[in-house]
Amino acid sequence: MSVLSGKGRLTGKVAIVTGAASGIGRAIAVAFANEGAKVVITTDRNLEGLKQTQALAPEGSIEYRLADSASAKDVEGVVAFAEERFGRLDVLCNNAGIVTDAMLVDTTEEDWDRTINVNLKGTFLGCKYAIPAMKRVGGGSIINIGSINSFIGEPLHVAYCASKGGVLMLTKTAALEHAKDKIRVNVVCPGWVDTPMNTEYIENIGGRDKVEQMLETVQPLGTGQPEQIASTVVFFACDESSLVTGTSLLVDGGFTAQ
């Protein structure tokens, strides 16, 4: 993974990034650290992945915790850890997410519940426990990771689409509720990005070559890379976006422009 160079735009800030053991979450955490932030990263089980993320960042800039984003106790504990370790919380990126590939009628109740819990409930809990911590320091920025599926449906992804549509509306509501607290809440919506989460889906629809051929038509700028999403998230995290809240930004290579 290439590492984004920083300009110190997050110096003095403390951030939490969920789902940071690989892919987009890893790129965001490293980008935050390179911009000067102290970062707490989480995942629910991939401890080795968190250690690998930490190793990519400047020494001492990242701490890691195992935490289930769908567990109120775990999320509350991560926020408390960030405040205890670094003295404050300024930025939260709710990135943890999963996808299940199945037609609606073949989607099990278990898979539905797990997808909604991780993707939507996890975002809700992150906001719920981060907002009071941000109020204690006079404001902050929350960046939720949505998807093109916050706006458009897609076969085989019924639970995922439902969860990401919910993230969009949660973001807008939280932004309105906490503008007076100087807490900004925005959602970044990636298109097709080359991450481990897409591996199963790639195989289900015919392999990487077929996906690349498909993207030539549906995503004109081609396959996205995690670092391209991370640079957008940094913008929302830093003071350059101080007048931006309640908005969604599609980072989708033109996927939804057609």
**Which residues are annotated as catalytic?**
160
Distance CA 115, CA 90 (A): 27
CA neighbor of 140 nearest in space, from 16, 250, 226: 16
Count H helices and E strands in the chain, helices first.
9, 7
Which residues is 244 bridged to in the sheet? none
Distance CA 248, CA 132 (A): 23
* Residue 188 Cα distances to 67, 145, 154, 156, 220, angstroms: 23, 5, 18, 22, 19
- Tokens for 62, please give them: 């990242």
The sign of the dihedral angle between the CA atoms of 141, 150, 27, 70 is positive
